[in-house]
Chains A and B, each alone.
Chain A
Amino acid sequence: MAGNEIRRAYAVHGGDYANGGRASTAIKDLLKALAVRADVIRRVAIAAYEAEMNVVMYARRGTMAISVTPARVTVEVSDEGPGIPDIGLAMQEGWSTATPEMREMGFGAGMGLPNIQRNSDEFRIVSEVGRGTRLFIQVAMV
């Protein structure tokens, strides 16, 4: 992979709980195939999974795009959905707007965005109410 950038993109469908996590698993498999270090893989996979499930739970649809270089792994998640009115509040551990259906799936603990940030070396989030949300997640290889 020296000197190369590898890119992949995955579609995520809102409400598709049956396939929720499929893209993140594909990302993990890609990183394993590229012989990325195990701890980097785990952090990227957890962050990607939390981001993917947010799209499934809250948005109409979204895209997960991954870029892998010798220096870093970057995952950008963008969705079309309601957006987040108060990002500061959404970043607080335990704060959740989960429905009973989401909790039945085991989510809605209010840990999603904090988990993403915790596993990222660089994390940015922008959102527009009525349009959607974009996440920028980056994990360094070294």
Chain B
Amino acid sequence: MAVGEAGLTLDDVCRVLDAETLVPGRPEAPVQSIGAADLMSDVLALGTAGMLLLTGLATTQAIRTATVADLVGVVFVRNKPVGEEVLALARDSGVPVMRTHLTLFEAAGRLYAQLRAPRGRP
């Protein structure tokens, strides 16, 4: 799992990834770091509070992991179908959820490039 430092908000992420919001959070919520992984134990081992998770694992376990690890939100990649039980849990748990058509690689790449860009609004 790769974790990079961020200076973005959830709203920035939504724009950069051309994502749709499935469960809203505070648009101005700061993204402290970004991680990309499909194995939740890796997220629990390497993730940090305030991290945004990019993942293809569109299950309740991604939401549970986000809850216990204090992640700022979850982005499901590759337009993965997301079950209503996942969204219901995210709403109940207060976990913002987005979905992008991009692959995990593309999404991570866009955000990485954004981190390397001159400071300013994306």
Contact = CB atoms under 8 A, between A and B. Distances in A.
The answer to whether A and B interact is yes
B68 A49 contact: yes
B64 A50 contact: no
A20 interface: yes
Contacts of B42: 109, 111
Given A42-B49, A50-B44, A111-B42, A24 B65 contact: no
B59 A114 contact: no
A49 B45 contact: no
Interface residues of A, number: 27
A51 to B, nearest CB: 11
Given A18-B85, A42-B49, A109 B39 contact: yes
Interface string B60-75: 1110110111100000
Given A106-B62, A107-B61, A115-B45, A46 B68 contact: yes
Interface in B28-70: 38-42, 44-45, 49, 55, 57, 59-62, 64-65, 67-70
> Chain B interface mostly helix, strand, loop or mixed?
helix
> Chain A interface mostly helix, strand, loop or mixed?
helix
A7 interface: no
Contacts of A106: 38-41, 55, 57, 59, 61-62, 65
A45 interface: yes
A46 B93 CA distance: 16
23 contacts: A17-B60, A24-B64, A25-B68, A28-B67, A38-B70, A42-B49, A46-B69, A49-B44, A49-B65, A50-B41, A103-B39, A105-B59, A107-B39, A107-B61, A108-B41, A110-B41, A111-B39, A111-B41, A111-B42, A111-B44, A111-B45, A112-B41, A115-B45
